[in-house]
Amino acid sequence: MRQSNKLSSIPESYYKRRRWAKAAWVYSALLLIATITLGTFLIAFMASLKDNALSEPTNFNFAQVRPSNWVSSMQLGLGGNQAPFFGGFSPGAELTFSVTYAVTNDQTFSIPVIKIPRRRPGTGMAATLTTDFAADYALVSEPKIIERNDNVSYIFKRGIKNESKQGKSVTWQFSIRYLGDGPVIDTVPLDITTPREQVLINSSLDPSRFERRGRVASWVNVSPGVIGYVFRSYVRVWNESVSLETGKSMFLSWTYNSFIIALAKVLLTVFIACSAGYALARMNFSGVRSIFLLMIFSMTIPGQVTFISNYEIFNKLGLLNTPWAVITMLVASGQVLIMKQFFEKFPKELEEAALVDGASPIAILWHVFLPLAKPALASIIILGFQGAWNDFFWPMVVLTSPADIYTLPVGLLSLRNAYGVAGDWSLILAGSFLTTIPVLIVFIIFQKHFTGNNIGTAVKG
């Protein structure tokens, strides 16, 4: 019997190592879940930077993340408008641009045809009203050869087919000058046309797209500045969603509306929840039971059951398409319940002293209970703010026109309808992210108060 190989007792280190290993697994699992929750947004954010968010969805090495493009866009922005971040094109500007083309050894080079097209800078309403075009003020110089290379290997793209080729390359350089005097222009588009066999293998800035099956390399803006280049979708979504009457950015209006409505609703909720919660909890008056039952009942019935009648009420009052229709349509049953349950926990002695002194219940509420209610108040304030900010159904029903009275979620819907048809996913993603910034900021600041109090919104999704 090989007793000597078996252990007589289990060492302490056995258990210790296992506890350590279990902790490692737990942390790994938590990290995996965190990766899934945060990673999704990271991926969507990266996609919002791309020129075309649907091309090669799993490829994250695209033009906007390459540092060489950052440097170039900064230089070009400096050259165009002394503005390395947002670029532009102003009087006296000179942009230097170079492009490298390759052909096989038995072909000859053709001089690229370089043109600044007279094209509006985007699809939104603001773009259609543009009156200043770079084409009217720009002069393109003749391209000069600055480099030759007799041995290059490159890839010739035939649609989705890639053919590797050997050949020679030539680099041309040209400049774009602002002639005379005039306004500062935001975008300088550029088109360079060559025969199909002549392939663009390098350029100061990666082209935004290739058109005419590879014959034309097209840049949306050759003087973008770093921010204008990397975050182009965001700049576009911000600039193009503009109200035609006031010229103000709609995103600003939407954020402002959401904020004002959320603030007003929270104030109203706190007022109603505290007074009603206290009364239902501490005061035994006739009718308490029925109000309580009605309140619970109202929490189970969805908003769609009551919306027509409420809609008609606001219609008759002429309050449709105003923030008041959203603010005052408030049945704060959930918050009243929270305050009621919170107030119930306190012992009777708390108010008995004050009652003996002859204080009215309102004074008791104000002086005794409210100061103690801070945790619960924090809870309903956060819940209320978040609920009001993210509310979708009712604002969509009552806020229809004009577009700058929308709240952020309804604005997102209109953005999706406007750009979804064009398949402009980068814009839609950029818009989504822009609307999440305020909530994220609030969340990061008030993080502690969110936990555990978030049941309602957490569970419905």
Partner 1 sequence: MNKIKSFTHWLLLGLILFSSTSMADKKLINIAGWGGNDVVAVNKLLTTVIKSELDELNIEVRYFPVESDYGRYILNSLSAGNAPDAFYVNVDLIDSWVSTGQLKAFSDSFAANAQRMNPVLLDAFTVDNQLFGVPKDVNSLALQFNIDVFKDAKTPVPDENDTWLTLREKLVSVVEAIGDEGVLGTCLSADFAHFSPFALSTGWRPFNEEGKTVLDDNFKRAFNFYVSLVHDGLAIIPADIGQNWPGGCFGTENFAVVMEGQWLSGYLVDKSPNLLYQSTLIPADPKTGERGNMLFTVGWAINNNTANASDVEKVIALLTSDKAQRAILAAGLALPSSNTIVLPAAAEDSPSEQMAQTILTASTLDNVIPYKFGRYGKNWQTPIDVALTAAMLKQLTIEQALSEAQRKYDEMIMISTNKQQGEQ
Partner 2 sequence: MSMKTLQRNFYGWLLVLPFVITLVVFFVFALIRTVKYSFTDYDLFSEANFVGINNYINLLTDELFLRATINTISFSLVVTIIQTMLALGLAVLLNSRIKAKSFFRTAFYVPSILSSASVTLIFIWIYQKNGFLNGFISQLSELSSYFVLGLFSLAVVQLVQIAHQRFIGLPTKFFDPLLALISMITTIIVIIIVSKLGLLETTTVKVAVNWLGSRDDFGPMPVTLWAITIQNIYTTVPTIMLLFLAGLQTIPHDLYEAADIDGANKWQQLFHITIPQLAPVTFVVITLGIIGTLQMFDQVALLGTSSPLESRITLAYYVYYQAFSDSGTPNIGASSAAALILGIITLCIVFLQNKFGVKEKS
- One-letter amino acid of 294: L
Q: Which of residues 183-202 bind partner 1 (CB under 8 A)?
A: 191, 193, 196
What's the Cα-to-Cα distance from 188 to each of 78, 261, 336, 461, rounded to whole Å?
A: 14, 40, 58, 44
Q: Single out the residue of 18, 209, 248, 289 in contact with partner 1 (rule: CB under 8 A).
A: 209
Burial grade of 72 (CB within 10 A; 0-12, 13-18, 19 or more): buried
Contact of 353 with 367, CB cutoff 8 Å: no
Largest CA distance in the chain: 107
Task: List the single partner that 422 binds among partner 1, partner 2, none, CB under 5 to 8 Å by kind.
Answer: partner 1
User: To 10 degrees, the CA torsion angle through 192, 118, 86, 179?
Assistant: 90
Site for partner 1 in 424-443 (CB under 8 A): 425
Between 113 and 293, name the residue whose CB sits nearer to partner 2. 293
Tell the smallest beta-carbon distance from residue 424 to partner 1 (Å): 9
Rounded to whole angstroms, how far apart are CA atoms 145 and 139?
A: 18
Q: Which does 61 bind (CB under 5 to 8 A by kind): partner 2, partner 1, none?
A: none
Phi and psi dihedrals of 436, rounded to 5? -85, -15
Closest to partner 1 by CB, 389 or 419 = 419
Shorter beta-carbon distance to partner 2: residue 34 or 145: 34
Least Å from the CB of residue 189 to partner 1:
8
Residues 30-69: x where in contact with partner 1 by CB under 8 A, - otherwise, as a string:
------------------------x---------------
d(C-alpha 123, C-alpha 394), whole Å: 30
- 182 binds partner 1, rule: CB under 8 A: no
Indicate which of partner 2, partner 1, none lies near residue 71 (CB less than 5 to 8 Å, by partner kind): none
CA distance 144 to 174: 6
Rg (CA), the chain: 32
Closer to partner 1 by Cβ: residue 90 or 400: 400
Q: Find the binding residues for partner 1 in span 245-304 (CB under 8 A).
A: none
3-state secondary structure of 199: strand
Q: Which of residues 354-413 bind partner 1 (CB under 8 A)?
A: 400-403, 413
Q: What does the DSSP 8-state code read for residue 195?
A: -
Helix axes 12-49, 425-445, angle to 10 degrees: 130
Question: Given 3-state DSSP classes, what are the helix, strand and coil percentages for the chain, each rounded to the nearest 5?
Answer: 55, 15, 30
Residue 315 contacts partner 1 per CB under 8 A? yes
- 244 contact choice in partner 2, partner 1, none (CB below 5 to 8 Å, kind-dependent): partner 1
Residues composing the chain: 461
* Residue 19 found at the interface with partner 1 (CB under 8 A): no
Q: Taking the complex as a whole, how short is the minimal distance between the CB of residue 161 and partner 1, in angstroms?
A: 5
Residues within window 211-250 making contact with partner 1, judged by CB under 8 A: 211-213, 215-216, 218, 244
Side chain identity at residue 135, one-letter code: A
| Alpha carbons 182 and 190: distance in angstroms, whole number | 20
Residue placing its CB nearer to partner 1 in the complex, 250 or 274: 250
CB of 188 to partner 1, least distance (A): 14
Toward partner 2, which CB reaches closer, 156 or 406?
Answer: 406
In the complex, which residues of this chain contact partner 1 (CB under 8 A)? 54, 117, 119-120, 122-123, 125, 128-129, 158-161, 191, 193, 196, 209, 211-213, 215-216, 218, 244, 315-316, 318, 320, 400-403, 413-414, 417-418, 420-423, 425
